[in-house]
Chains A and B, each alone.
Chain A
C-alpha cells in the first residue's frame, strides 16, 4: 500500500466510513452582502487604509490619475504592470517608467531594483481597506511585492463592500487565476517587542488611486 492509501484507510476506519457511506450536505454558504452607497464605500476604504498608514487618493478621470501618478513618482524609477486600465490612464507613457514586460526573469530583475511598482487591481474591499489582485498576463505577482512603494490605480466601480461580496462575485477564484492576493495595508511586522515596523519584506508604502 502507498502512504496515500494507508492514510485514507486510517481516516475511513477512524470515522467509521464503510461502503455505503454518503456525504451529508455541508453547512450552507454564509455570505451577507449589504447595500452600501459608493460614497460610503469610498469613505470606509479611505478610513481603513489610512488607519494602517496607507493612503487613498480620489481623482475624477483616468487622465487625472495618470497626471497624479506622474507627479507622485517624480524622478524615481517605476515599473508598470500590463493592465490595460493603466495604459488608458496614460501611465505607461510616463517618462522613467518601464512597462510591457512579459518575461519572468527580466521582470524580476527590473522589479527588484525599481523604486515604485504600479498596478491596477481587480477589486477593492471597503470594509477592510483591501486590494484584490489576480495574477494574469496583465498583472504579475511581483510588481506589488518587490518595490518599496506600491501604487494601485482602479476605477471606483471595482470597490466592493467586503469579503462577502468578493466571494459572491468571485465564488471560485481558482477558475480564473493561479493566484489571488488580498493586500490590506503596507507590509508590517511586530515580531520584536511588539513594536510595529513597516516595509519588512513587501512595500512599506501603499497608495490606492480611485478613479471616478
Chain B
C-alpha cells in the first residue's frame, strides 16, 4: 500500500462529519435501489440482469463488428465518428474543431469518461471556457475537486460547504438554503447554455443499429447541452456499445433502478445525428468520439474483459463496506469503489496503487447488486495475484515469506509449537483485542508495526488446549 493511499484512508476514517455524510448518502441510495428491485415490484429482475449480462458479453466479444456498425449508422445520419487512442487526441480534436468554428464557450454534461481524461483542464489550458452543468459537477468544478461518487459526485459536500464555494467563486451572498443554491446555479448556467458554441456530453449507451447515443439524467442539463449549442460532441469509451435500440428496454429498466432507485431517470435522450431537414432545433454538427485510452488492453484477458460491461450505476459503491468507510477520494483515480478497484489497476497498471485490489473484504456484495453481473471479486483476486507476482522480490514480501516459513516449521514441531503458544499468551497484557498493537517495542518494529497497528486479536485464554487436555 502506498503512503498516499494510506494517508487518504486515514483522513477519511478520522473525519466524523465525512463518515456521517458517506454513510447517510450511500445508505439512502442503497435502500432506494432495494425498494425497486424486489421480487414483488420487479419479478423478472434476475432475468433482466442475466439478459443484460449476455448482451454486454456478446457486444464486448464482438466489439470490432459493433464499432464499425455504429460508425456506419452515425455517418448515414450525417454525424461523424472520431477515433481517439488517448486523452490528448481527444483534446486536440476538440481544440482544432473549436478553432475552426471560432468557438469560445463549451458547456458540458456529466461524464466519467471526460473526467478520466481531464478534459476540462486540457481545454482551459488552451484558453477555452469549459463549464460543467450538472449541479454536483458544477460545484466540484468551482471547488477544483474530482467526483466523489460515480452518480452523486458532490456526495461529500454539505450545504454549508456549497454556500462557501458559491461565495468564494461567484461572489454570491453566503446562503445555506439548498433551493436558493440550486436556483443560483440554474440562472448562472442558463446564461452559459444560451451563449455556448459547443456542447460536450458523455454517453450512457451507444446504440449500434441506430448510430445513436443515449444519455440518462435527472436535471435536464444533458438535454440543454445536446439541444441548444450548434455543435454536439459526445465522448464515450468504445465499451459503451449495445447492439440494438430494442435492447434499451432491458438496460433502461436496470440503470436508473440500480443507480438511484428510480423506475426511469427524468430524462432519457436518444440522439442520432444532427438535426434533420425540417426539424426546428438541435445541433447542426454531431460528433461521437470513440475513446480507447487503454480499453483495448483490457480486452486481451478473457476473464477480466467483463470489467468493460459496467454501465456506471454506482450500486457497487453504495453497498461496499469498504467504500462506505474510506469514501471516493481515497481511491487513486476517478473510478472509485469496487468497480474502481478493478478498473484502475487495469487502466493504469497494478503498480499505480498495489494496495487497491486488497482494499476489499471479498464479501461479494458488489457482484450481488451489479445490474450486468460483473464478477468483481473474481477480477480482484486475479489482480491480487498479479500484484503478488510483481512484488515477490520486495524486502517486505521476503520477510512475509520468512514469517510463514517459521510458522510452517512450528506447525510441524509440536513441542516448539506449544512453547510458542505459551509465550504468545504471556504477551497478552489486556482483555481486549488491541493487545497486539501494544506489544513490547522489541516486536514493534518496521513492517511488523504497521501490520500490528491495523489488527486486533482476541487475547489467548490463560491455559492452552494441551494444558487442559493433560489435566482432564
Interface residues of A (CB under 8 A from B): 2-4, 6-8, 10-12, 14-15, 17, 23-24, 26-27, 29-32, 48, 82, 101-104, 107-108, 112, 127-128, 130, 135-137, 140-142, 145, 163-164, 166-167, 171-174, 177-195, 197, 199-203
Contact = CB atoms under 8 A, between A and B. Distances in A.
A2 B83 contact: yes
Given A11-B296, A192-B135, A193-B159, 8 more contacts: A10-B292, A15-B61, A179-B282, A187-B218, A187-B267, A191-B136, A200-B135, A202-B224
B276 A186 contact: no
Nearest to B138: A191
Contact of B179 (A3, A167, A172, A197): A197
Contacts of A140: 279-281
B296 A30 contact: no
Contacts of B211: 174
B362 interface: no
B216 to A, nearest CB: 9
A11 B239 CA distance: 11
Contacts of B189: 201
Contacts of B271: 178-179
B62 A23 contact: yes
Q: Which 10 A-B pairs have the closest CB atoms?
A: A202-B220, A191-B136, A174-B272, A201-B220, A14-B299, A174-B210, A10-B296, A4-B83, A140-B280, A182-B268
Contact of A192 (B159, B209, B299): B159
9 contacts: A3-B84, A3-B89, A10-B292, A10-B299, A31-B246, A177-B279, A181-B223, A181-B267, A201-B189
Given A189-B182, A192-B178, A201 B224 contact: yes
Contact of B212 (A12, A24, A174, A199): A174
A14 B186 CA distance: 45
Contact of A171 (B65, B246, B276): B246
Interface string B268-288: 111111111011111000100
A191 B292 contact: no
A26 B244 contact: yes
B182 A173 contact: no
Given A172-B245, A197-B179, A189 B64 contact: no
Contacts of A197: 178-179, 182
Range of interface residues on B (Cβ < 8 Å): 35 or more
B26 to A, nearest CB: 10
A29 B246 contact: yes
A177 B249 contact: no
Given A11-B67, A178-B276, A128 B264 contact: yes
A15 B64 CA distance: 9
B411 interface: no
A101 B159 CA distance: 42
Nearest to A27: B54
Contacts of A142: 227-228, 281
A7 to B, nearest CB: 5
B79 to A, nearest CB: 9
Interface in B295-311: 296-297, 299-300
